[in-house]
Structure 1
Amino acid sequence: MYNLKEKEMIFVFTGPDGSGRKTVAKLIRNTLHMKGVISYTTRERRHYETEGQDYHYVSREEFMAAKDNGEFLECVEIDGNFYGIKEKDVEETFKNKGCIYLVLNPEGSDIVKKLYGDKVVRLFVYADRDTVKARQEERGDAPDIVAQHLAHYDEDMEYRQQCEHAFENYKLDHTAFEITNTIEHYLKLKAEQKKAEKQ
C-alpha cells in the first residue's frame, strides 16, 4: 500500500451514477489545477466516454492479471464489471501534486477512506432519483443501463451520511463553486499547519 506523506491528501468525488460527480470533478480540476487518477474498468466504453479521461478500458483478463499481481489500491465489482485504481498511478500523481482527486462509487470510496483515514475527504454529489434518471437518458444511456444504475440509487444515497461533505447538484456552476471553497479550506489548513511546523 502506498503510504501518504504528511502533506498529501486525497479528495474523493462520490455519489449515485448520474449525479454529475465526474463533471463537477473536471470543473474543479481546471479551477484548482488538481490532478486526478483515472480508474481502470472491464466494462465497455460508452459512446460519450473517452479512453484515458473517463476510464482506462481493459479486458477482464488484463484486469484480473493486474489484480492478482497486487497492482490495485482498491478494486470493486459492480454488476459483473470490475473497477479499480492502480497504486502506481496514485504514487506517480503525488510526485507532482500534494493533493489528488479520485472519482469513485461509494464502495470504492469506503475502501480508500479505510486505507488513509483523515487524509481522505469524501465529497458526496447527489440529485433526486428523477433528475439522475433524466441525466442518464439525456447522455444516451440505454434503458437497461439506466435501470441498472437506478437499482443502486437508494443504497448509494445511504452512503451520504458517512461522507465528510454532501452537495446537492442541481446547478453545476453553483455546486462546483461550493466544492471548490470546501477543498480550498482544507488546502489552506494544510498550508497553515506546514507553516506552523516550520516556526
Structure 2
Amino acid sequence: MVTLYTISAPSGAGKTTLVNALIETTDNIKVSISHTTRQPRQGEKNGENYHFVTKDEFMEMLENNLFLEQAQVFDNHYGTSQQWLKEQLNAGIDVILEIDWQGAEKIRRLKPDTVNIFILPPSRAVLEQRLHDRGKDSEEVIAKRLRGAVEEMRHCVEYDYIVINDDLDQALKDLQSIIQSQRLRQVVQAAKLEGLLKELLN
C-alpha cells in the first residue's frame, strides 16, 4: 500500500534541500516533477527539477485535463501530471508532491488519505536571511517573497505534520520518521506480513 505526500513550505525554508536529502536516503519514494511556466534558475535542468513549458503549452495541458492539480504562484503556473502520478502509485512507489498550500488543499479534497507535511523556518529573521543568501533576487523580489511566505505559513495548521528546518540533519530525521511511521501502519503491515500473520495466528 503506497502513500501520497504533499510537502509545502514558504520560499526560503529549505524544502527542496530537505526533500532531495530524503529521496537520497529513503527507498521506494519519488518526487513528482511539476510542469511550470517559470524560467529555470541557475543549475536547474528540464525534466529533472521541473518540466519547463510555455504559458501556451501549460494552458493547452490544462484544457485537456492533464493535471491532477494546478496553481498560480506569483506570476507563474505549476501543475502535477495525473498520468505520471498514477503510474508511480500503481508501481508501488510512494510519491511526494512539492506544492504550495493551494495545491495541497486541492489534493486533500481529491485524495483524502494524502499525508500532508509543512516545513517551517526556525524564525522570521532566519527566513529573511536565507532569501538574501541565495543572491538570486532583487530586494523588491525578496520583499514580495517574504509577503508570500507569511501568507503561506498561515496555512500550516491545515497539515498533518509540521517540521522545523533549523538543523538540516534533525529536520531530515523528522521527515524520515514520518515516512517510516506511515509504512508501519497496521493496514500497510497487514498486507505485507500476510504470511507471517497466518503462521503466528494458526
> Paired residue for 1:54?
49
Matches of 2:159 and 2:180 in 1, distance apart? Answer: 18
Q: Which region of structure 1 is more displaced relative to structure 2, 70-79 or 132-141?
A: 132-141
AA at the equivalent of 1:100: V
Matches of 1:49 and 1:102 in 2, distance apart? Answer: 18
AA at the equivalent of 1:19: A
Matches of 2:109 and 2:126 in 1, distance apart? Answer: 31
AA at the equivalent of 1:192: Q
Matches of 2:93 and 2:190 in 1, distance apart? Answer: 14
> Paired residue for 1:160?
156
Cα shift at 1:186:
0.4
AA at the equivalent of 1:156: E
Post-superposition CA distance 1:72-99 (Å, at most 9, x none): 0000112221111010110122243341
Q: Is the 8 A contact 1:11 1:121 kept in 2?
A: yes
Matches of 1:27 and 1:172 in 2, distance apart? Answer: 9
Root-mean-square deviation over aligned CA pairs = 1.7
Cα shift at 1:30:
1.3
Q: Which region of structure 1 is more displaced relative to structure 2, 46-55 or 124-133?
A: 46-55
Q: Is the 8 A contact 1:13 1:102 kept in 2?
A: yes
> Paired residue for 2:18?
24
Unaligned regions of 5+ residues in structure 1, if any? 1-6
Larger Rg belongs to: 2
Matches of 2:132 and 2:50 in 1, distance apart? Answer: 20
Matches of 2:192 and 2:59 in 1, distance apart? Answer: 44
Matches of 2:144 and 2:191 in 1, distance apart? Answer: 46
> Paired residue for 2:87?
92
Percent identity of paired positions between Structure 1 and Structure 2? 25
User: Secondary structure of the equivalent of 2:184?
Assistant: helix
Q: Is the 8 A contact 1:48 1:139 kept in 2?
A: no
Superposed, 1:176-195 pairs within 5 Å as 176-189=172-185, 190-195=187-192
Of 113, 127, 133, the residue aligned with 1:132 is 127
Matches of 2:46 and 2:159 in 1, distance apart? Answer: 29
Superposed, 1:101-120 pairs within 5 Å as 101-118=96-113, 120=114
Number of aligned positions between the proteins? 192
Q: Which region of structure 1 is more displaced relative to structure 2, 128-137 or 80-89?
A: 128-137
Post-superposition CA distance 1:108-159 (Å, at most 9, x none): 11111111012x1111101122222222222222123322211112211111
Unaligned regions of 5+ residues in structure 2, if any? none
Matches of 2:111 and 2:17 in 1, distance apart? Answer: 25
Post-superposition CA distance 1:142-189 (Å, at most 9, x none): 123322211112211111111000011011111001110111010111
Matches of 1:99 and 1:81 in 2, distance apart? Answer: 27
TM-score by length of structure 2 reads 0.88
Matches of 2:193 and 2:142 in 1, distance apart? Answer: 50
Post-superposition CA distance 1:36-78 (Å, at most 9, x none): 1111110111114332232111100000000000000000112
AA at the equivalent of 2:126: T
User: Secondary structure of the equivalent of 2:112?
Assistant: helix
Q: Is the 8 A contact 1:43 1:82 kept in 2?
A: yes
Q: Is the 8 A contact 2:30 2:93 kept in 1?
A: no
